[in-house]
Chains A and B, each alone.
Chain A
Amino acid sequence: DGGITQSPKYLFRKEGQNVTLSCEQNLNHDAMYWYRQDPGQGLRLIYYSQIVNDFQKGDIAEGYSVSREKKESFPLTVTSAQKNPTAFYLCASSTASGRAFYEQYFGPGTRLTVT
């Protein structure tokens, strides 16, 4: 089955620790994205990548880092510098990059709780 997987589904960490969220896709999509969603708010873009070994900051990149060493994988690290890391993190991918239509498909998400 083709799709996007994120692991783990739930993640608990102590404040001050870095944590890496996994995102893998086997859809052969070029573009991948990371969003966070907070209660009552829309999705906010953290980072995105249109091609391997290249990525761009989104609207709320501070306190996060990413890598794109393989087409299939786009891990997100939430660092201790992120002031409010508790959120629902969603990874998405898209067939198109640099063109008009961007139907993005989402993984099931990771709920991160930092205490």
Chain B
Amino acid sequence: RKEVEQDPGPFNVPEGATVAFNCTYSNSASQSFFWYRQDCRKEPKLLMSVYSSGNEDGRFTAQLNRASQYISLLIRDSKLSDSATYLCVVSPYNTDKLIFGTGTRLQVFP
């Protein structure tokens, strides 16, 4: 089983739609969680950290479910510029590494 698993997609949604991605992780002792965004042939950029109580940044909401070992990302009112690959990233407890998922591709169409 992969340490971090994501549905590769693509998720094709119209502008204005709400879309959600889930990501599961295998190490129950994982402590830090992030969502990164990666545009085609570019470097990953930090989108948001994910906190235990859930957190929101504008149109983006991240949730953590420790019991079921998954994190989610909700994007409301999708924009064309949201088209990218979204990487789920987990840091196991007491390590200095990040484990990256393979990403979920989102395509927003007009």
| B-binding residues in A (CB < 8 A) | 31, 35, 40-43, 45, 48, 50, 58, 88, 90, 97-98, 100-109, 111
CA distance A90 to B101 in the complex (A): 15
Q: Contact at B97–A42, with CB atoms within 8 Å?
A: no
Partner of A102, one of B4, B87, B98: B98
For the complex of A and B, the 7 pairs showing the least CB-CB separation, nearest first, are A106-B43, A43-B100, A42-B100, A42-B102, A101-B32, A100-B31, A109-B43
Count A-B contacts at CB 8 Å: 52
Instruction: Specify the main secondary structure of chain A where it touches its partner.
Output: loop
Number of B positions contacting A (CB below 8 A): 22
CA distance A104 to B96 in the complex (A): 11
Q: Contact at B96–A42, with CB atoms within 8 Å?
A: no
Determine, out of B12-20, B44-52, B62-70, B73-81, the stretch whose residues face the partner at the interface. B44-52
The contact string, 1 if C-beta is below 8 Å from chain A, for chain B 77-93, is 00000000001000101
Which residues on A sit within 8 Å (CB–CB) of B42?
A: 108-109
Q: Contact at B4–A103, with CB atoms within 8 Å?
A: no
A sample of 16 more A-B contacts (CB under 8 A), given A31-B96, A58-B97, A105-B46, is A40-B8, A42-B4, A42-B87, A43-B44, A48-B96, A88-B41, A98-B96, A100-B93, A101-B32, A101-B49, A102-B32, A103-B49, A106-B44, A108-B43, A109-B42, A111-B41
In the complex, how many angstroms separate the beta carbon of B57 from the nearest chain A beta carbon? 14
Q: Is B34 an interface residue (CB 8 A)?
A: yes
In the complex, how many angstroms separate the beta carbon of A58 from the nearest chain B beta carbon? 7
Which residues on A sit within 8 Å (CB–CB) of B98?
A: 45, 102, 104
In the complex, how many angstroms separate the beta carbon of B60 from the nearest chain A beta carbon? 16
Which residues on A sit within 8 Å (CB–CB) of B103?
A: 42
CA distance A104 to B32 in the complex (A): 12
Given contacts A42-B87, A42-B101, A42-B103, contact A102 B46 (CB under 8 A): no
